[in-house]
Amino acid sequence: MKPILLKNQFNPEAYKVESYVAGGGYESLKKAFTMKPDDIIQLVKDSGLRGRGGAGFPTGLKWSFIPKDPTMQKYLACNADEGEPGTFKDRGIINNDPHLLIEGMTIASFAFGASVSYIYIRGEFVFGARRLEAAIAEAYEKGFLGENIMGSGFSHDMYVHCGAGAYICGEETALIDSLEGRRGTPRIKPPFPAIEGLNSKPTVINNVETLSTVPSIIKNGAKWFAGIGPEKCPGPKIYGVSGHVQKPGLYELPMGTPIREIIFNHAGGIKGGTFKAAIPGGITAPMLVEKDLDTRMDFDSLAAKQSMLGSGGVIVMNNSTCMVKVALITNRFFSHESCGKCTPCREGTTWITQILKRMEDGEGRPGDTAEIERLCGMIFGRTFCPLGDGATMAIRGNLAHFRDEFIYHEEHGRCKV
Amino acid sequence: MLTEEAKKAIKEVMKRYKTKRAAVMPALTIAQDDVREVTAEDMLEIAEMLEIQPVIVNEVAKFYTMYNVQRKVGKYHIEVCHNISCNLLQAERIIAHIENRLNIKVGGTTTDGKFTLSTAECLGSCGTAPMMQINDTYYEDLTETKVNDILATLKSRD
């Protein structure tokens, strides 16, 4: 497949507006202005594009929830708070092709009538934030942002907002809180952001990859897009492969490419041993093992395997990997990133991490594994946002395949591997 | 204390938002920029500029890990990712190596105030693991030799 989203990954000049325009950039925006906003929404609906941030919600449908009242202030917030361990795809777009995102955001904003948009980028991406700021300034200068863009009558302002080290701000309502200058803690839904989001106004929150896909849909049409990959979740997808593989990196492939092909063909196979397990979509996604390797990497196929596509960040582990340690690192992360709003998540993830720490240190006690399982039951479904659920999904996914390693730690005080 | 330049930058960034309060995060980033610390005085001044209670500035500053609230860090703040992808590729060895080279433990600062070593959760650079961030810069595909070179370069700077 000819890359769409990563076409400029190895072009060191692509971040400049002249280079982007020379490659046909902002032509989709021009084309979008010849269409009715509602027709753009319909086109995106027809394409079957589903959100690439992890939830897989149909993008066109999300846009259509925004009230049509033209006098009402509306916002677009681009979620660039890429923080799910194993995920590094949005950074690839931001650093190397920032105008692709800006063009996608401007088209989206035109479609549902947002006059202001924010790119919420994680604070650690200082390089990316500076690059976006520079690209936005260029876009203003060339008339792709600002007043009356390309004579269309549509005006739009775009700003970068830097986070400051909080994974939870990738959750859309926490992101809004953070954009309003608050602690990033999730809000109860409803009201959904499409009705009451930023500054209590209708707001769409879309991932970087999702928005960067939009210009190609405008250019090539819904049919073209729907023809790539599976019928129910088509399109190109960026898979990020990391861990024990020969060639870690970003691979843009048709949605639904089998995980075996991604790991063994594209990423060059296993490094330093044989395949043990892979986490398919960022650490929240339950693990896949050898027998699952023919699973297609799309939202529905992975859901059928009780896992999820999430961000498409594939973390590969070889046979030297201790799964208790993997569980410890994973839970330590969730415990560190829990915003503290809900007791089950805040206390539960901390407690599980303490148990895993002693197991890893050779001081596990009989019943520790069962205790972890009991605690998972007290977190799952009992929290405000999906962070707590995510923590339990990760550890349950691990235990489903490798419970014996946990018991071995309990009984012998050391690794089985 | 906020410099005149910082105050100007904060006033400029306030224009991006509908409410004054929304500028609290960029204001904290600006305040921290040159000295790598947010002081109590900074927070009071930000509160005054944004017309919000100082406690609001403080609660926001304390929530986000990147603000060094009343915490002195070295001139070069080394943060090594120790999450899954980096860990699989020996991040622990890199951390131990830096501890040895600088003669400090994670969380510590060298006696000359030049380096602080911390661990960080996923920095979104998993394809080039193991990696670390020093102040604003990412250093990727780390090896012990590469770390030696980076530390030597920074040590030779003042």
pLDDT digits (tens, 9 = 90+) for A351-387: 999 999 999 999 999 999 999 999 999 999 999 999 9
CA B141 from chain centre, in angstroms, equals: 21
Q: How far is CA B40 from CA B28, B57, B135, in A?
A: 11, 10, 22
In chain A, which residue's Cα lies nearest the Cα of B55? A182
Q: Tokens 């990497």 belong to which residue?
A: A297
A166 with B26: Cβ contact below 8 A: no
A75-112 confidence digits (pLDDT tens): 999 999 999 999 999 999 999 999 999 999 999 999 99
Average pLDDT over residues A292-298: 98
A85 with B28: Cβ contact below 8 A: no
B8-59 confidence digits (pLDDT tens): 999 999 999 999 999 999 999 999 987 889 999 999 999 999 999 999 999 9
Q: How far is A342 from chain B (nearest CA, A)?
A: 15
- Angstrom distance (rounded) from CA A113 to CA A107: 10
Residue-level length of chain A = 417
Q: How far is CA A171 from CA A77, A78, A83, B34, in A?
A: 12, 12, 11, 31
Is the CB of residue B82 less than 8 Å from the CB of residue B120? yes
- Angstrom distance (rounded) from CA A296 to CA A370: 32
List the domains of chain B with CATH numbers.
4-63 (1.10.10), 76-156 (3.40.30.10)
Give the pLDDT of residue B47: 98
Is the CB of residue B92 less than 8 Å from the CB of residue A94? no
CB pairs under 8 A between A and B: 135
A181 with B60: Cβ contact below 8 A: yes
B121 with A283: Cβ contact below 8 A: no
Mean pLDDT of chain B: 96
Give the pLDDT of residue B33: 85
The percent of residues in chain A predicted with pLDDT above 90, rounded, is 98
Chain B interface mutation, best of A242, A246, A320, highest count of B Cβ atoms under 10 Å: A242
Contacting residues of B for A125, CB less than 8 Å apart: 124
- Angstrom distance (rounded) from CA B76 to CA B36: 9
Q: How far is A50 from chain B (nearest CA, A)?
A: 22
Phi-psi region of A362 (alpha: psi -120 to 50; beta: other; left: phi over 0): left
Mean pLDDT of chain A: 97
Give the pLDDT of residue A257: 98
Is the CB of residue A262 less than 8 Å from the CB of residue A288? no
- Nearest of A399, A407, A404 to residue A377 by alpha carbon: A399
Contacting residues of B for A85, CB less than 8 Å apart: 83-85, 121-122, 126
Angle at A120 between CA A115 and CA A126, to 5 degrees: 130
A142-177 confidence digits (pLDDT tens): 999 999 999 999 999 999 999 999 999 999 999 999
- Angstrom distance (rounded) from CA A1 to CA A24: 19
- Nearest of B55, B56, B51, B57 to residue B31 by alpha carbon: B57
Give the pLDDT of residue A189: 92
The reply to whether A10 touches chain B by the CB within 8 Å rule is: no
Q: Which of A86, A90, A159 is opposite residue B85, by nearest beta carbon?
A: A86
Q: What is the ipTM of this complex?
A: 0.97
Taking the CB of residue B53, how many other CB atoms lie within 10 A of it?
A: 11
Average pLDDT over residues A54-68: 97
Average pLDDT over residues A43-69: 97
| pLDDT of A199 strictly over 90 | yes
What pTM was estimated for this model as a whole?
Answer: 0.97
| pLDDT of B158 strictly over 80 | no
- Angstrom distance (rounded) from CA A94 to CA B48: 35
In this structure, the strands spanning B132-134 and B115-120 are unpaired
In chain A, which residue's Cα lies nearest the Cα of B85? A243
> Residue A373: CB partners within 8 Å, gap ≥ 6?
A396, A399
- Nearest of A202, A118, A198, A188 to residue A160 by alpha carbon: A118
Q: Which of A199, A241, A315 is opposite residue B18, by nearest beta carbon?
A: A199
Q: How far is A126 from chain B (nearest CA, A)?
A: 6
Contacting residues of A for B26, CB less than 8 Å apart: 161-162
Contacting residues of B for A334, CB less than 8 Å apart: none
Helix A368-379 crosses helix A343-360 at what angle (to 10 degrees)? 160
